[in-house]
Amino acid sequence: MTTKKTIRVLIAKPGLDGHDRGAKVVARALSDAGMEVIYLGLHQTPEMIVNTAADEDVDAIGLSVLSGAHNTIFPRVISLMKQKEVDDVLLFGGGTIPEKDHPFLKAEGVDRIFMPGTDTKEIVFYLQSALNDSTPSVIEGTASKS
């Protein structure tokens, strides 16, 4: 019997931002690709997002930001991830995030940013290749590969 690791992803929209179509489309695409998506929806604070990610033990956090607050939200999420022992989790973002801000966000620790118009297949492929073989085992001395 194979024990394949199921990829778990948290999808949320931080802050005061009501445009959740993109987040829903991505959530659906990831679930159609065989992942378990914990969908948190609108108006999440960085604290709510990181606490949930810790309890749900997700492999990745995807935040959709169309409010322009990305330079505030992502660094706050990242500092909480370090505090709460969630820093082995992949953080990615999507939405209207101007390219001039990407270098700053990447330096902070956002692994990848997807712009409007991205094919959902690209996001699926990104997560599968980033997570499938490199998920570090939390238990010492055991490999996570099945």
Partner 1 sequence: MKPQEMVDRILKADRRAAARLMTMVEDQSELASEIMKDIFACTGRSMLIGVTGAGGSGKSSLIEHLIGRFRKDDKKVGVVAVDPSSPFSGGALLGDRIRFQKYSLDDGVFIRSMGSRGYMGGLARASSDVVRIMEAMGNDVVIIETLGAGQDEVDIIHIAQTCLLVLTPGMGDDIQAIKAGIMEIADLIVLNKADLEGANSCIQSLESAIHYNLKKDKDVWVPRVVPTIASSMQTAECEGIEDLYQNIMEHQAFLHKTRRIDTVHAKRIEQELGLIFKDEVEKTVFAGLKGTGKKREYIESIIKGNNNPYSVVDEVLSTFLRTEKLE
Sites of contact with partner 1 (CB under 8 A) = 1, 3-6, 8, 27-28, 30-41, 44, 47-48, 51-52, 54-57, 84-86, 138-140, 142
9 phi/psi in degrees, rounded to 5? -130, 135
Q: How far is CA 98 from the centre of its chain?
A: 19
Cα(88)–Cα(131) distance, integer angstroms: 11
Q: How far is the CB of 86 from partner 1 (least distance, A)?
A: 8
Query: To the nearest whole angstrom, how small is the minimum distance from the Cβ of residue 102 to partner 1?
Result: 29
Nearer to partner 1, 99 or 146 (CB): 146
Measured distance CA(114)–CA(75) in Å, rounded? 17
CA-CA distances (angstroms) from residue 86 to 3, 21, 34, 61, 74?
24, 27, 23, 10, 14
- Cβ proximity to partner 1: between 86 and 97 the closer is 86
> Least separation, in Å, of the C-beta of 42 and partner 1?
9
**CA 125, 130, 132 angle in degrees (round to 5)?**
90
- Compute the least distance from the CB of residue 77 to partner 1, in Å: 14
Decide whether 47 or 119 has the Cβ nearer to partner 1: 47
To partner 1, the closest distance from the beta carbon of 11 in angstroms equals: 9
Give the nearer residue to partner 1 in terms of CB position, either 48 or 115: 48
Q: How far, CA to CA in Å, does 104 sit from each of 4, 100, 113?
A: 35, 8, 12
The smaller minimum CB distance to partner 1, of residues 44 and 64, is found at: 44
